[in-house]
Amino acid sequence: MAESEATADAETDAPARARVLVVDDMPENIEVLAAALQATCEVFFATSGEEAIRIAVTQRVELILLDIMMPEVDGYEVCRLLKLDPALAEIPVIFVTAKTGVEDESKGFAVGAVDYITKPITPLLVQARVRTHSELRAARERLKSMAAVDVLTGIPNRPAFDEVLARELQRTRVDAAPLTLMLLGLDDFRAFNDSVGYRAGDRCLQQLARLLRRRSARALDFGARYAAAVFGLVCPDTDRPQAEDLARDLLNRVAGLAPVFGDGPSRLPLTASISGITLEGAAAAPGAAPPSAERLAEEAERLLAKAQRAGHNQLWISSWSDLLA
């Protein structure tokens, strides 16, 4: 393995810093919590309930420290609203408050909080509680991921892909960031299997899965096995030119896998085609009505089928607005 790829894999294996959102209308409280967490966590801040919900969606936070006593919308209501949203409901919420009565705690747990931290704030206690709930969430995610992994390739499966695509589409409604869905399909894979054998075909799919895991551009990109010989990529914050650059790189790397399986006269070359749809501009503007995850995926499937009928090694990427024109 090349040194650069070994470094990339090592970085992938490094433990990620927990993404924690601190919500409090008092700057001094935010400063204390930030000082306690910034060494081990990536910390985001909000001073109102509305801002907290927006940041929870756009920044993919993993844990929320939430003050109860805030003007306009209090912490109880913010927590309740978070739990009503399927995309946010599983984020653990810890209330940070001077309220210590049994009724206050009962109300907090009733709306979905997992723990309490009382004021005045003790940094060591904050660190311990955040560490505990981050580890619990990671354990739950590991259990969940076991059911969301494709057995052959070891990368996420189609249900996991559908869930991530739906979540990212919701995010585009909030922050108007571009989003690209790409499908990579191996060309004439049945004939390729007949040529190299089914075991070699399986190894080919495994190699391609490893390639996607290393080469999906950025940490936020999400790759999965979409169908038999089709892989899907969800690429947040990716416009059409960026998507085309990524797609060209992937097609070149797929072609580079051919020597692994032999390239003799009796064996077919390994190629892939890519379709993609980008939501940007008016389609991603706040208040716009972007397509459902199912509709977007169906259009990408149709585009991939057209690309593969046109030949091998095709790259067809369109914007959503162009498809509607």
pLDDT at position 216 is 55
Band of pLDDT at residue 284, cut at 50, 70 and 90: low
Q: What class is the 3-146 domain?
A: alpha beta
Tokens of 36: 């306690």
Tokens of 23: 């919500």
- Taking a C-beta distance cutoff of 8 angstroms, is the pair 231, 221 a contact? no
Residue 103 CA, chain-centre distance (Å), reads 38
pLDDT at position 32 is 93
pLDDT at position 128 is 94
Alpha-carbon span 245 to 274, nearest angstrom = 12
User: Which among 153, 243, 145, 264 has a CA at the least distance from the CA of 202?
Assistant: 153
Query: Region 176-180: what's the mean pLDDT?
Result: 90
Give the tens place of pLDDT for each residue, 49-93.
Answer: 889 999 998 888 999 999 998 888 899 999 999 988 877 888 999
Band of pLDDT at residue 219, cut at 50, 70 and 90: low
Please state the domain extents for the chain: 3-146, 158-324
Please report, for residues 15, 55, 214, 231, 322, the alpha-carbon distance to residue 61 in angstroms, rounded to integers and kept in the order given: 16, 8, 23, 27, 33
Longest CA pairwise span in the chain (Å)? 79
Q: Which fold has domain 158-324?
A: Alpha-Beta Plaits (3.30.70)
pLDDT at position 59 is 87
pLDDT at position 1 is 39
Residue 197 CA, chain-centre distance (Å), reads 34
Alpha-carbon span 174 to 171, nearest angstrom = 5
303 burial type by CB count under 10 A (0-12 exposed, 13-18 middle, 19+ buried): buried
Number of Cβ within a 10 Å radius of residue 209: 20
Tokens of 103: 């009724």
In sequence order, what are the residues at sequence separation of 6 or more whose Cβ sits closer than 8 angstroms to the Cβ of residue 57? 87, 88, 170, 171, 174, 175
Identify the three-state secondary structure at position 311. Answer: coil
Query: Region 260-269: what's the mean pLDDT?
Result: 56
Query: Region 158-175: what's the mean pLDDT?
Result: 87
Question: Does the pLDDT of residue 3 top 50, yes or no?
Answer: no
Alpha-carbon span 123 to 34, nearest angstrom = 10
Can you tell me which residue has the tokens 């209308």?
25
